[in-house]
Amino acid sequence: MELNDIKIFLDSKVEDYNHTSFISDDPIQVVHQFSKKEDIEIIGFLTATIAWGNRKSIIKNANRLVEIMQQRPHEFILSYNDDQEFDFVHRTFNSEDLKFFFRSLQNIYLNFGGLEEVFDRKLPTKERIVKFRNTFLLVDHLDRSKKHLSNPDKGSSAKRINMYLRWMIRNDKKGVDFGIWKKHKSADLYVPLDVHTGVSARQLGLITRNQNDWKALEELMAHLQKFDSNDPCKYDFALFGLSANKELN
């Protein structure tokens, strides 16, 4: 396929997949329980953090996070203290990791103006994520907890953080992404490069690298930004759906 043919094909698949029916099987459904901006961005960040593995397990454990935060994420974070006891495990993310995340989120909301502000919109996407990560690590934490914060400087594609940024920033009024971070631009978003998006992108010739790393993501984004410079991340729906539904040979 020529690149223009791929663009036309993907545009049609965006229309097929970028609508509210997408929510029924996706962890973003947990975030859609909330309407307050701070609640959305906090539970959205925590849900994105544990978004690896079986989707049913992700949704179940994200709802457990809502339960731990007593259905009021923002209020819970502002008043959090480490004396609170709870049990939580999602794969390798455990209660100690979660306590660190609660402490760091509290620091961000009390001292940095909240999650929207701590992602520096004046920086390129990679540097924006790295700066956020460095800020998040300012509070006391176990060394093991660092692994739950992707680091593009070490080659990670930062799939879960890019997914979170898509949720918060992208706003096409289709009822999936929230678009509540008005100071940021959809044009700056990178797709969350996972197994499905990587498979589709390689089958379409949009990625040549074997690993799903930051270099592969930049290779993919160079094409997607040409397809739609204002909203390149919309193609995440098409690439994910094509592989998940086995539409490509």
Give the bridge partners for 90, in sequence order.
Answer: 93
| Residue 214 exposed, middle or buried by CB count within 10 Å (0-12, 13-18, 19+) | buried
Q: What is the pLDDT of residues 9-57, one digit of tens each?
A: 999 999 999 988 888 889 999 999 999 999 999 999 999 999 998 999 9
Residues 247, 239: contact at Cβ < 8 Å?
no
Residues 6+ apart with CB under 8 A from 69: 42, 43, 76, 77
Q: pTM surpassing 0.85? A: yes
Return the C-alpha torsion angle 170, 23, 35, 11, nearest 10: 20
- Kindly list the domain boundaries of the chain, sorted by start residue: 3-244
Q: What is the pLDDT of residues 197-238, one digit of tens each?
A: 999 999 999 999 999 999 999 999 999 999 999 999 999 999
- The torsion angles phi and psi of 28, rounded to 5 degrees, stand at -60, -20
Residues 6+ apart with CB under 8 A from 52: 58, 91, 160
CA distance 135 to 103: 12
